[in-house]
């Protein structure tokens, strides 16, 4: 699927900041499947009611073409100057892509702590390091669960919230996390799913997505169990990753550009391919309590227990609960984590 002709672009402030075209990606993935992957709907002016009825209830992905065009981030974040000036003093943990391994059989992630200002300047430089800021927490919502989470995991980049606008499709109390994703380009995620409904907006660069409904798990996993977030056989080095029974999986493919929002339903398997050059995106994870509680718990338990191992369901819930309790004692009562900066509502509703 080629990008729509009216896809928004990043302001041209230098040769490294040109928005990559879909043709810059290494391959067209839709034709690797039979039948070919479907195109994702691209719509303008989507109302909250239409979003609910046409996409959220039936669990269908959609690109909201004008969903992020009012973000001040589209202009301010296209060069490192603004990012460094407002949040350069912050520290963040980045994934060392050279030291990590995304192969399913030996999955390993290695992180290092860096100063955000140094990270931005180097990633936008001529020789960017293989560092990838994943899930850099910008803000949480106003709901009860988010209030509790602030004590165990405070926002690391709260100043960046002023350059964003909250999407109108959920209440602020349902926002679990708003995260920054910043890398050197050409990153590839594993095939995974999240327990949250997801709205993802590219600020710099482009991203190619392949997406599969949760009920395609048996085909995608090829009879194997899955732990954490990686489906066996979909890592980038496997030349035959789309062959065999996996090629019959029903799904979607799309490319997203700056100014667009992609809706990825909770539980939908997806793999993300970033284009060349600096890659910067923001995502919003939502959990509408109490409506989504059951599905989120089930998805979380499946992730940790193995998709077909129902007998480990309760054990997985117990382990997750223990981890949360330990973190609450260690960071909350022990006050090892700094308090989250309260910046109020600037930037929203503009």
Range name among 8-22, 138-152, 239-253 with the lowest pLDDT average: 8-22
CATH architecture observed for domain 23-292: Sandwich (2.60)
330 DSSP 8-state letter: I
Report the C-alpha gap between 123 and 276 in whole angstroms. 12
Helix, strand or coil for residue 208? strand
Tokens of 146: 């988010």
Tokens of 303: 């992730």
Q: pLDDT digits over 154-210, tens only?
A: 788 999 999 999 999 998 888 988 999 999 998 888 888 888 899 999 999 999 999
CA-based torsion, 196, 199, 204, 209: positive or negative: positive
Cis peptide before 254 (omega within 30 of 0): no
285 sits in which H/E element: strand 279-286
- DSSP string of 65-100, one letter each residue: TTTTTT-THHHHTTSHHHHHHHHTT-EEEEEETTT-
Report the C-alpha gap between 166 and 178 in whole angstroms. 10
Report the C-alpha gap between 230 and 276 in whole angstroms. 23
Contact between 197 and 292 under an 8 Å Cβ cutoff? The reply is yes
Q: pLDDT digits over 239-267, tens only?
A: 567 777 788 999 999 999 999 999 999 98
Report the C-alpha gap between 66 and 270 in whole angstroms. 22
Report the C-alpha gap between 223 and 242 in whole angstroms. 15
Q: pLDDT digits over 59-116, tens only?
A: 999 999 999 999 999 999 988 999 999 999 999 989 888 876 655 555 667 888 999 9
Report which of 209, 207, 205, 208 is spatially closest to residue 277, judged by C-alpha positions: 205
Contact between 285 and 198 under an 8 Å Cβ cutoff? The reply is yes
Report the C-alpha gap between 340 and 157 in whole angstroms. 9
Tokens of 304: 């940790």
Pairing of strands 252-256, 38-39: parallel
Helix, strand or coil for residue 204? strand
- Can you give the pLDDT at residue 208? 92
Residue 103's CB is within 10 A of a number of other CB atoms, namely: 16
Higher-confidence position of 331 and 201: 201
Q: pLDDT digits over 268-288, tens only?
A: 999 898 988 899 999 999 987
């Amino acid at each position: 699927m080629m990008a729509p002709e009216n896809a928004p672009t990043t302001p041209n402030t230098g040769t490294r900041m040109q928005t990559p075209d879909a043709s810059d990606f290494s391959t067209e993935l839709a034709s690797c499947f039979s039948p070919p992957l479907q195109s994702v709907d691209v719509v303008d002016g989507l109302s909250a009611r239409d979003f609910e009825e046409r996409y959220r209830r039936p669990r269908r992905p959609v690109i909201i073409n004008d969903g992020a065009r009012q973000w001040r981030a589209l202009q301010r974040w296209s060069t490192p100057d603004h990012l460094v000036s407002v949040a350069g003093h912050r520290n963040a943990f980045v994934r060392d892509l050279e030291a990590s391994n995304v192969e399913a059989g030996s999955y390993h992630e290695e992180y290092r702590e860096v100063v955000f200002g140094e990270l931005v300047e180097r990633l936008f430089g001529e020789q960017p390091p293989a560092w990838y800021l994943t899930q850099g927490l910008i803000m949480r919502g106003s709901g009860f669960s988010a209030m509790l989470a602030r004590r165990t995991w405070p926002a690391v980049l709260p100043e960046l919230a002023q350059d964003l606008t909250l999407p109108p499709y959920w209440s602020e109390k349902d926002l679990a996390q708003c995260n920054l994703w910043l890398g050197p380009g050409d990153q590839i995620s594993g095939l995974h799913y999240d327990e949250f409904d997801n709205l993802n907006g590219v600020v710099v660069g482009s991203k190619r997505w392949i997406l599969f409904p949760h009920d395609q798990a048996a085909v995608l996993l090829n009879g194997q169990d899955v732990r954490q977030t990686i489906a066996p056989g979909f890592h980038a080095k496997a030349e035959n990753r789309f062959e065999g029974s996996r090629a019959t999986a029903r799904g979607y493919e799309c490319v997203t550009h700056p100014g667009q929002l992609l809706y990825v339903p909770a539980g939908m398997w997806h793999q993300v391919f970033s284009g060349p050059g600096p890659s910067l995106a923001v995502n919003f994870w939502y959990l509408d309590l109490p409506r989504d509680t059951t599905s989120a718990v089930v998805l979380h338990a499946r992730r940790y227990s193995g998709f077909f191992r129902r007998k480990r369901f309760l054990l997985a819930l117990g382990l997750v609960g223990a981890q949360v309790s330990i973190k609450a004692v260690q960071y909350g009562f022990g006050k090892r984590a700094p308090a989250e900066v309260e910046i109020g509502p600037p930037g929203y509703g503009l």
